Structure 1
Amino acid sequence: MSAARPILIIEDDDALRQALADQVASSGVFQSIEAATLDEASQHLGAAEARFDSIILDVNLPDGNGRDFCAKIRKQGHTMPIIMLTGAAEEGDVVSGLDAGANDYIAKPFRVKELIARLQAQLRLFDNSEDAVFTIGKFSFRPASKSLIGADKKRIRLTAKEVDILKFLYRHAKRVVSRQTLLDEVWGYNASVTTHTLETHVYRLRQKIEVDPTNCRLLMTAPGGYRLDPSAA
């Protein structure tokens, strides 16, 4: 089973925010972190181990305008999909939100199932776009271009399977993923593929990402499987 994807919900209406968080969690696809103000949202985004795959952002918040906040975090380099919520759905409001960097715009009241469907659609687009960049140790991981870019700007090429392994482990950051789960997710239910195939790919991947492959800090073997620590130095 794929890991729940972390979503930041920024909404000052306590009842609506809680209802959103509950519904998002019940989907089994996402897990949510909540913020009632832009200041609180900034603290979440600036945390050392912050990792959000998407943001649900209200337009009118007690300490500022959601559109301005959207434009600000885009300038800071945050590229994840942002879906804005608003009580006004006039064309000018929608255009302003999209111009600020939002990927989608939903007017209140809305159906939560529709919101989740739109989230999933935006994430599918994002995961396969050039904008998808994930930090793993000293590397910028760019799945679309099948590459890792180091601090020295050197590009390391990855195979398609290495990309799939890294993406899946990243979604389960710091949690152990069993060998069988990786085989099922990366290769599908292919009876001809064995754990030896997986171990060979992991070995080659470590040669590319570890400073010392004999003393792994990023991609580690754990009881029954593997664990990725993207924040390791």
Structure 2
Amino acid sequence: MRILLVEDEEGMSQALVEIFKKNKIGVDAVLNGIDGLKYAESEGYDAIILDIMLPGIDGITILKKLREAKNNVPVLLLTARDEVSDKVAGLDAGADDYLTKPFSTDELLARVRALTRRKGEIKDDSITFGDLTLSKKNCELQSSEGKAIKLSLKEFQILDLLFENPHQIITKEQIINKIWGNDSNAEYNNVEVYISFIRNKIENLKVTVRIRTARGIGYSLEDETR
């Protein structure tokens, strides 16, 4: 999962980024509405957390522009405002949910999970393909025979993307944008290195699932028994 955080309070933004990272959620964070709209228009996010009061372009305007462009990414409005009229304005503009500051991190994470479930993503504790299971709770790979191996955060995020799109070629560019972020300096070589790490771990589990290379394009998750 990757989300966009548009929050102009730098301290809060940094704190939320750390919370999301600890919970294995990829995040891009921007501090103003102009950058927020530019990032949001990329349509590469599973959810957007959007403050209403922003420099440059306010959150409601950003939301309206996204919905006018038929961009249906789930949006959670995050603001200090607690007037009913503000909530109504945000929901009428196309927001999926609304959270007023101050808030608990547990509630924020729960609402983000709810947003992505409504989008149709698989959010169970684990997901199985062939004889290989990705445990989201434990951040590990498990064979059908019960053998398990731990994953780094980047390994987990790449596998999560592949598991949720089996048999589909995921390009290196998609992996970079989804895992490292649009504004990162990551290159194709970074992806190739992590894919190599992941392949070694899969092979150690003695399963039939493999990551297949589409030369010059990307990778797909395949079961050699099919």
TM exceeds 0.5? yes
Following TM superposition, the consecutive aligned residue runs of length 4 or more in structure 1 with deviations greater than 6 angstroms are none
Alignment of 1:9-20 (within 5 A): 9-20=5-16
Q: 1:45 aligns with which of 40, 44, 54?
A: 40
Secondary structure at the counterpart of residue 175 of structure 2: coil
Report if aligned partners of 2:170, 2:219 keep a CA contact under 8 Å in 1. Answer: no
Cross-structure match for 1:6: 2
Whether 1:86 and 2:82 are equivalent positions in the alignment is no
**Residues 68-120 of structure 1: CA distance to partner in whole angstroms, max 9, x if unpaired?**
21011122232211100121222221111111111100001011121011100
**Residues 128-176 of structure 1: CA distance to partner in whole angstroms, max 9, x if unpaired?**
69xxxxxxxxxxxxxxxxxxxxxxxxxxxxxxxx975158968x83653
Whichever residue aligns with residue 22 of structure 1, its letter is E
Q: By how many angstroms is 1:18 displaced?
A: 0.9
Cross-structure match for 1:144: none
Change beyond 3 A, Cα 1:120–1:169: farther
Cross-structure match for 1:173: 175
Q: 1:105 aligns with which of 93, 98, 112?
A: 98
Alignment of 1:60-209 (within 5 A): 60-127=53-120, 164-165=165-166, 173=175, 175=191, 176=195, 178=199, 195=208
Q: How many residue pairs align between the two structures?
A: 162
| Identity percentage of aligned residues | 26
Unaligned runs of 5+ in 1: 130-161, 185-190, 207-214, 227-233
Counterpart-to-counterpart distance in 2, 1:169 and 1:25:
23
Tell me the C-alpha RMSD between the 2 structures. 3.7
Secondary structure at the counterpart of residue 51 of structure 1: coil
Cross-structure match for 1:34: 29
Counterpart-to-counterpart distance in 2, 1:69 and 1:113:
26
Under a length normalisation based on structure 1, what TM-score does the superposition of the two structures give? 0.57
**Residues 1-40 of structure 1: CA distance to partner in whole angstroms, max 9, x if unpaired?**
xxxx221110111111111111111112x12111111111
Counterpart-to-counterpart distance in 2, 1:167 and 1:93:
42
Change beyond 3 A, Cα 1:220–1:56: closer
Unaligned runs of 5+ in 2: 123-162, 177-190
Change beyond 3 A, Cα 1:163–1:115: closer
Counterpart-to-counterpart distance in 2, 1:121 and 1:168:
27
